[in-house]
Structure 1
């Protein structure tokens, strides 16, 4: 009893501390837009001598056409090939030699580049991102090189990875019209069939200042940084092509869809995916909190029931995909040795039904709120995290200040809201179900 009381007090203390941080440590920033359309966000934090320089291009796999998938992710690689003023293969070494690191990532909705540098190397980061935006090399040598790199990545991370095709199978089954049915990695065939002119057209369409957000956080002086941005970015011309924004609405799903996938695995798995509203909507916040309730730690409902108590699974979790258009809420579990896949699915369904029918008690709800508050603080605890979140909030929501206030949207979610969204969205007719089985179980 004493231990339970201590744990409860610890959770409360963590929650109060996180809430105090969100209220007292407001993240100050300056934002403006250059005449060429480049949106700039600057956050000054002189506590450590480093800086994050990032550029978010509002282009992801959602912007691609059927038959030409994988372009956004391909460009994430191609943009490290070099520019008119940076020799091929030198992009990474220049940052590393300056004591920094760099990386990039692509999603359904965006492509994001960043450098983490000593603050006295800010000009280098800005120059290199300006070079990427204005003078990138889009030539046959770079395209052929990166074709091979992307193909090898797909083989390694998806085709030859146990459960690696989970994403492409789930999204292909869940979406019939919307381009979310294409995973960012794309297909070999589409990339191999694309001509050099198509790659150059993609660059001229999307890699333009009016489709980009430059977000800088760290040990900077605002006015000095503005001058550097003017020096490196102001002369880059605004894009002249119309930027495609798909307006396809996925038809409402009215009956369950199921699929069996035979994979190079030993333990079966069950994946359920439910259609949910886009990020930023009130119901999305309730569903996000529901995810934390189901799988936010070892003591959360799915692992506690399926892994610890029933020992039917070795892994059990839920994942909401935060997407600009309506996305998916996944629950998945990998079966324990000897457990039948149908029994595992029944156990997963039982936990979903609990959320729908049982009232969430005050103690568990307070723990949930504390977890959300703590996560909110942690994701903004580094200059890299702040630079990325400021850019995301501006692009997706049109309000960078949500970096300070979005927690209030979570705190508005009630116990009744969580129960309501579970009943509204986690229904049989609104889901797809995949059973992953070992290839040895495939009928001859």
Structure 2
């Protein structure tokens, strides 16, 4: 159980406090309600680029990292399709330094042409290194573009094209900042050796003077139901062939989401999972096979990917995989309970880390209910065999699938 207190500032900033007197550190997690799904189709990759720009200094502080390191702190950030998250940890006695730094760059980012060019080059190199020059690096581009025809999940967080990142101007940066990086678009979690009155006083001092921005109303194009299977084959300089199958599934908070998560673990978690036991151990058609979900707020993807054993044709490997999926209807209760216990254990162990607790509270708040951080285990426990079989029938349909054959160059 993650205990917390919650309040909202007059400018709309949501604040969650998790007191842990056993810790000697404090964690500040600031989550902005903006991700790749909020980008213009011709300006993709902007949310991720902006994450980098936020470390380029504010109007009053030339560099973000130096003052934090001087008081024994460290920090990091990440961007997803749905959100951008910044977090730092530092000795609890130096908590106000984190408030000073985070509030100052929310108040006024340093709109510096040199910083933009530096971070643009960093992101372009990351794009080339991880997506263009790495084996299978472009697989996600192919897969999302095939699975989504309308929704902005059709481009990865890194962006659809290098040209989009190259074309971003300082005017674009300013417009993005004042639209999304406002207190009413943010969730602040402070955790560790802190008290709620202490955090409330620091919030009033450092964050409450920052003006709210105009309300952002998200109207995203909804992805229509997929009614026909989609297939694509590509070749690349890769060590072995890979098969990818992506099925549309419910988003977080939607009926069937937790059943789909349990199904995913049943299929792909560990050596006793259905896919590994049958396709790697028993039939030796794959050297490795995994299942995972995109864990997105809007309807996402249930993905199965596997590397084929040498000289195994794609068609044979895919056919065997589909036969394993049919076995879900015969899943014994003991196997389901084992998977649910494993998922519960992972959630409990994850909460050992203070940063993880803070991020769980922020994510749950973004979903609309901070207490979801404590409800997940119960939702997983409630998933029964009927729910798993029902979601499998709904999701793992041929017409709901986009398949990618990633072939080696002959």
Q: TM-score, normalised by structure 1?
A: 0.90
Q: State the 1:420 CA deviation.
A: 1.3
2: CA distance, partners of 1:348 / 1:362: 22
1:224 to 198, 222, 238: 198
Across the two proteins, how many residue pairs are aligned to each other? 409
- 2:311 pairs with 1:370: no
Indicate the residue corresponding to 1:214 in structure 2.
188
- 2:326 pairs with 1:353: yes
Indicate the residue corresponding to 1:238 in structure 2.
212
Q: Is the 8 A contact 2:233 2:407 kept in 1?
A: yes
Indicate the residue corresponding to 2:50 in structure 1.
75
How big is each residue's C-alpha offset from its partner over 1:234-279, in whole Å with a ceiling of 9 and x where there is no partner? 1001113x42513311111110000011112020010000011111
- 2:16 pairs with 1:41: yes
Q: State the 1:71 CA deviation.
A: 0.9
1: CA distance, partners of 2:84 / 2:117: 21
2:357 to 386, 394, 407: 386
1: CA distance, partners of 2:30 / 2:261: 27
Q: State the 1:78 CA deviation.
A: 0.5
Q: TM-score, normalised by structure 2?
A: 0.97
- 2:118 pairs with 1:145: yes
2: CA distance, partners of 1:262 / 1:269: 10
2: CA distance, partners of 1:39 / 1:117: 22
Indicate the residue corresponding to 1:115 in structure 2.
88
- 2:167 pairs with 1:196: no
2: CA distance, partners of 1:378 / 1:249: 36
Gaps of 5+ in 2: none
How big is each residue's C-alpha offset from its partner over 1:97-146, in whole Å with a ceiling of 9 and x where there is no partner? 32222110000110000001111121111111111211211221111111
Indicate the residue corresponding to 1:439 in structure 2.
409
How big is each residue's C-alpha offset from its partner over 1:61-100, in whole Å with a ceiling of 9 and x where there is no partner? 100111111111011100000111211xx32233233222
2: CA distance, partners of 1:116 / 1:302: 39
Q: State the 1:179 CA deviation.
A: 0.6
SS of equivalent to 1:66:
coil
Indicate the residue corresponding to 1:399 in structure 2.
369
- 2:392 pairs with 1:422: yes
1: CA distance, partners of 2:263 / 2:111: 45
- 2:292 pairs with 1:304: no
SS of equivalent to 1:43:
strand
Q: Is the 8 A contact 1:391 1:400 kept in 2?
A: yes
Q: Is the 8 A contact 1:62 1:246 kept in 2?
A: no
Q: Is the 8 A contact 1:269 1:333 kept in 2?
A: yes
Q: Is the 8 A contact 2:17 2:195 kept in 1?
A: no
Q: Is the 8 A contact 1:32 1:41 kept in 2?
A: yes
Indicate the residue corresponding to 1:171 in structure 2.
144
Indicate the residue corresponding to 2:297 in structure 1.
324
Indicate the residue corresponding to 2:38 in structure 1.
63
2: CA distance, partners of 1:91 / 1:246: 34
Q: 1:330 to 1:388 in 2, by over 3 A?
A: same
1:162 to 135, 139, 162: 135
- 2:239 pairs with 1:266: yes
1: CA distance, partners of 2:138 / 2:256: 29
Q: Is the 8 A contact 2:247 2:400 kept in 1?
A: yes
2: CA distance, partners of 1:106 / 1:311: 37
